[in-house]
Amino acid sequence: MWASVIPGAHWGPTKGSFVCKRHLADSDVFRLHPYNLEDGTVKQIPLAHLRLRDNAVSSTFNGAASYLLKVAPTPESDPAERRQDVDNNQDKRNEFLKSDIICDYEDFVGNMKAKFDNVQ
């Protein structure tokens, strides 16, 4: 699976294939091994060779051409939640539209800063 996310990789991995640790998220790499001592405490011992979390996938490709990178789609929010947000903000929109009326150019220039401050 990890070979499919490497940009420009048009090959199949072999037993000797590997990915540099720079391409993995820190959360995907185990650097320490917990060791239980006789007194019941746990000591973290540095691993001589890093180990990967199950299903770890390469995700960092600094310097790769942008057309080679696959961008994950942003997850959509629930339609009911989006409708609730729209309904909750209706009063704010109506208030903004009422205050956004420009009478003439002088009104625009004179009140521009105040109008922009009210938007935020």
Count of structural domains within the chain: 2
Domain that holds residue 108: 73-120
Let me know whether 2 and 58 are in one domain: yes
Let me know whether 47 and 84 are in one domain: no
Let me know whether 59 and 41 are in one domain: yes
DSSP, collapsed to helix, strand or coil, labels residue 15 as: coil
Let me know whether 31 and 82 are in one domain: no
pLDDT, position 114: 72
Let me know whether 34 and 67 are in one domain: yes
Q: Flag residues of the chain having pLDDT under 70.
A: 1-11, 59-74, 115, 118-120
The pTM assigned to this predicted structure is: 0.37
Which residue reads 């009063």 in tokens? Answer: 91
Which residue reads 């959360």 in tokens? Answer: 27
Let me know whether 67 and 113 are in one domain: no
Instruction: Report d(CA 20, CA 3) in Å as an integer.
Output: 12
pLDDT, position 16: 79
